[in-house]
Amino acid sequence: MIRGILSAATAMRAQVLNQEVIANNLANADTVAYQKDKAVFQSFNDVLMYRFDRFSQRSIGGYTGGAVVHDIATLSSVGAIETTYNPLDIALPQGAYLGVETPAGTRYTRMGNIREGDGYLTVSGYRVLGSNGAIQVEAGKTYSISDDGNVFADGQTIDTLSVFSFSGGPTPAKEGDNLFRVAGGVANLIDAPRLLVGVLEKSTVDPVSEMVSLISSMRAYEAAQRALRSHDETLEQAVNRVGRV
């Protein structure tokens, strides 16, 4: 009976985490180049139960201790492309990330909505990295980017975007604000990235699909909650009966 309570409780906890992942996906449905997350569940090992008596033993079935969220995986698919005609907007090929400068060091993003800000090219407020550090800009000049990553000011090449791919380990880990960090692998600079210019990659989140997943998760949570309540009531009755004996 106690095992049933534990199984129901772990199922409820897993669905709470799953709902948090889905809610975060929905909140980023309009975020440029956002890659959706998915909760990965893992069940505890099954246990085979036996009944023993003086002369024999026989199996009476199996038992599992429930499930937990084993990992939160980022799906690396590419979102739909939206044309903007902005010469600083880019879309990166699958598996490629733009290097940016943050207070915590170099981080990576698939966001391609590059802008001029505070004397630098920035994306979401972070300075975009080039061949020699953050790419500086001057007021009064017109900037554009070519499909091989070169940055131009009034038609003259001034730098090249630092675009990376990852190898030798796990995929990059999400760090918040649509940024990624190296997680055991190696970031490799791509010499001539094949960029799409004048377009932006949209989020990979399908709001309708996420809402369906959210409803399914809520129903699973409610089912586990009912099971927990049932076990609790049964346990209470057993305790009361023992107390009367």
SS3 of 79-101: the string is CCEEECCCCCEEECCCCCEEEEE
Answer yes or no: do 96 and 67 share one domain: no
Q: Do 185 and 123 share a structural domain?
A: yes
Same domain? For 45 and 86 the reply is: no
Residues 85 and 196 reside in one and the same domain: yes
CA distance 154 to 175: 36
Q: For the segment 52-104, what is each residue's pLDDT rounded down to a tens digit?
A: 665 666 666 655 667 778 889 999 899 999 999 999 999 999 999 999 999 99
Residue 143 — pLDDT band, cuts 50, 70, 90? very high
Domain that holds residue 162: 81-201
Q: Are residues 127 and 173 in the same domain?
A: yes
Task: Domain count for the chain, please give it.
Answer: 2
User: In this predicted structure, what is the pLDDT of residue 67?
Assistant: 77
Let me know whether 181 and 219 are in one domain: no
- Both 66 and 101 in a single domain? no
Q: Which of 6-15, 33-42, 141-150, 210-219 has the lowest mean pLDDT?
A: 6-15
Using the predicted structure, report yes or no on whether residue 51 has a pLDDT greater than 80: no
- Its pTM stands at 0.82
Average pLDDT over residues 119-142: 95
The better pLDDT of the pair 130, 2 is held by 130
102 with 127, same domain: the answer is yes
Q: How far apart are CA 46 and CA 165, in angstroms?
A: 40
Is residue 120 within 8 Å of residue 135, measured between CB atoms?
yes
> Are residues 209 and 164 part of one domain?
no
Q: Are residues 29 and 86 in the same domain?
A: no
- The predicted model gives 177-196 an average pLDDT of 92
